Structure formats: C-alpha cells, structure tokens
Amino acid sequence: MGKYFGTDGIRGVVGEKLDARLAYRIGRAAAGMLACDGEEKNEVLIARDPRISGDMLEAALTAGLCSGGANVGQLGILPTPAIAHLTRKSGFAMGIVISASHNTYEHNGIKMFGSDGFKLSDAQEARIEELIDSDAEMVNSADLGRVGRDSGYFAMDYIQFLASNSHERFAGRVAIDCSNGAAAVTARSLFTGLGFECEFISDNPDGININDKCGSTHMETLQSFVKSGHFDVGFAFDGDADRFLVVDELGNVVDGDMLLAVFARSMKELGMLRGDGVVGTVVSNSGMDAFASECGFTFHRADVGDRHVLEMMMETGCNLGGESSGHMIFLDDMTTGDGQLTAVKFLNVLAASGKTVSELVGEVPRFPQVMPNYKLSGGTEERDAIMANPRLLEEVEKYQEILKDEGRVLIRPSGTEAVIRVLVEAKTEQRAAEIAQYFIDLMKSL
C-alpha cells in the first residue's frame, strides 16, 4: 500500500483523511498522469454512490481534473462496476468512482479504472501519488477541461448490458435489498424488466442510511423479509453494488464461497470454465477444495481482495473468481466484481436447475467456520503492532499444530479498516468459536 492508495483505492473518514482539498489534488494528479502518458483522449467518467459526502468530493475531484485539462463526464449515482464497463466500452481514458463500498456513510473513497476497465496498476497509482504531492500548476485557461452531465443514457446502457446476460426464465418471487446504495438507481429497472415478481427494500437512500443495518453486510434484515414474505430467494448488494449475497427460501445466508462453487460447477458442465479451475481466497471455506476435487476442477487461493483474485485469474487463465464476501468476477463479461451481473447469472443457474436455492447450494460441502472481527480503538498503528507481535505468531503456529488436518487458524489485518480479522475452522462450530474467542482475548491482552 502507498501513502494514499490502499487495497481498494483511496479511502478514509471524510473530514479526517479524505476531504475536498485532497480530492482536488487527486483529480489534478489524475489529469497530470494522463497528460504525461501522452493520452490523446483525456475524457474521464465520474460516478458515485449516494452517501452525503459524494457531492462535495465529486465537485472537488472534477475541479482538479478540469484544472489539469481533462474533460469530465459526470454520471451521477451508479454502481462501481458500471463505470468499469462504460469506461472500457466507450473508450474513455479513465473512470473514477467515489464510494467507500460497504462502509458506513462517514467514510468515502476514490477508485480509479483505466481505459481497459481494469483498476489502475501499482505503477500508475504510485505515479498519481507522486503528482498529488507535487506543486503542479493549472493548465492555460484555453486548455481547461469541460464538464458534461449525463441525463440517463449511460445508466440505461449499463442496465441493458446486465439484462443481456439473462438466458433463463425464473418463475419465483425475489426480495432485493439495495443497501440504500447505488443499486437503488438500477436494480428496479433491471429486475422488473426481466419479468419476474420482485419486491425491494432499503432502496431509498438519503445520504446517511447507506449500509445501515441493511445490504450484504447486515443480512439479518433481508433474512427476516424473505421468511416473513415467503419469497423463493433474496438478493443483497452492498453500497456500490459490487458485492452480492443470497438468502435462500428458508432464510439462510448463502455466502460467496457457495455461490462460487455453484457457478464453477455450472460453467464446468457447460464447457465454459476456462483454465479448468476457479480462484477463491485464503479465507474461502475448505469445503471448496473438496467440492472442486469432486467436480473435476482446480481451486486456487489468492490473498484477500478482488485485486489479488484478478491477478491470480490472469496467472492461471481462469475466467471465474470470487470472495466469501460476495465479490464475483466473470472475466469474460466484466473486469471487476459486479453484484447485479452475479445476480442475473445466479437466476440463470437456479432456473435451469429446477431446484430451490437451499437444494442447489446444499450440494456444496461446508466446514464449520467462524470469522469474527477484532475492532481496534488505536487505529492502524495498533493493528500493525499486534500483527507483528511474536506471541500472536507463536499461538497461531501452536493451534495449527493442534488442529492439524481437522481445521485451521488464519489471522489477518483488514486492508481498509482498523480491524483484525480472525478465521477458524474446526470439527464443530462450537470448537471453532472457542478458539476464535481465545485469539480475540489474546489480542486484547497484547
């Protein structure tokens, strides 16, 4: 990670790490990089999620881009993957999304995509960081960039792209949780247009309620809604709609590991699974290894983060990868995780199977697993100090030996928050929970 860029763009609490001054400098630096690279096209697309700080950051970012001679197309509120798709399709030099994804409203972030629709490389991010800290001057008045505002054309183009991936008619009832985020502006048109019965919750963003007890990070809201309304399936997105999780007809959560397994088997059977394998992460449930062996494909594990998943997909030639959190990458169709694209593809698989959701995902083995988070009051410095403590490393090794082939322990720092994530797999969920609590208590003592 660099001075400004983390594992997924530049993020921070607005008014602390991230403010209008920094957003201006980021915009000016992005325009400077395009100019230094000799880009003939200097048009940049910008979209945001609905959080309240989005307007301010969009204005500052736009001013910085224009001061560097870049033309800006403001698309308003759209999901993150929409910008990746539209930037690549329409030939823009760069796409930028103002969003903090699954975080609460006081956070925000800036994510950047190149003209190919992929997130910027480490080298490009390092170049922008250099330019952020430089004293670059504004271009001549005649060379200033201009601003255009979309009236809905780009949003409709993206919705049509998603709808084009629907190949099976689903006859059931669907509950959809938009997390009071970006999906609220696209999901209704998309899913009602596909012709099945659906109802929406958390689809009235007010700038403050994004990810607030709703969406893919708070599945209990959708679980209750599905059970009380007797829906066949429930879909949950996060704030910028790049994540997607499912609730089955019984009210149980279907996480990204189970979704990845279902997609992998289906694509394998259809002869569409390139690389004869899929990419998950180090936190993917160990049941994935057994399922992959049973179905005849290889399961690869990357570090956590869609950037790392994508890198391993490129290395192995795989066209499918995903995370437990619900990021799913279908590389033949999209350059990044797309929650609504994943939802459409899941409906295809579900309809073709003729099964209920619980029957479909029940065929995927699951090892008892718990994944609590340890939130730190001392910020990222405290997080890093605990992770480097020899006592913690010794105890992890000790419990790995105790569990041997019956489970595992993984302790890792969050790349975006002052949080340490604990993963324990064991023969029973109770045993896993006991070990996880031991490590939480240990970290508190450290």
Catalytic residues: 101
Sign of CA pseudo-dihedral 68, 72, 78, 80:
negative
Residue 22 DSSP one-character state: H
Beta bridge partners of 9: 6
Pairing of strands 71-77, 147-149: parallel
CB 52 within 8 A of CB 208: yes
Beta bridge partners of 198: 174
Residue 227 to residues 131, 202, 234, 248, Cα–Cα distance (Å): 52, 17, 10, 9
| CA angle (130 as vertex; 59, 73 as ends), nearest 5 | 30
Residues with Cβ within 8 Å of residue 208, at least 6 apart in sequence: 51, 52, 105
**Amino acid letter, residue 147:** V
Beta bridge partners of 13: 107
Alpha helices in 42-165 (DSSP H): 54-67, 80-90, 122-132, 153-163
Residue 272 to residues 49, 262, 420, Cα–Cα distance (Å): 33, 13, 37
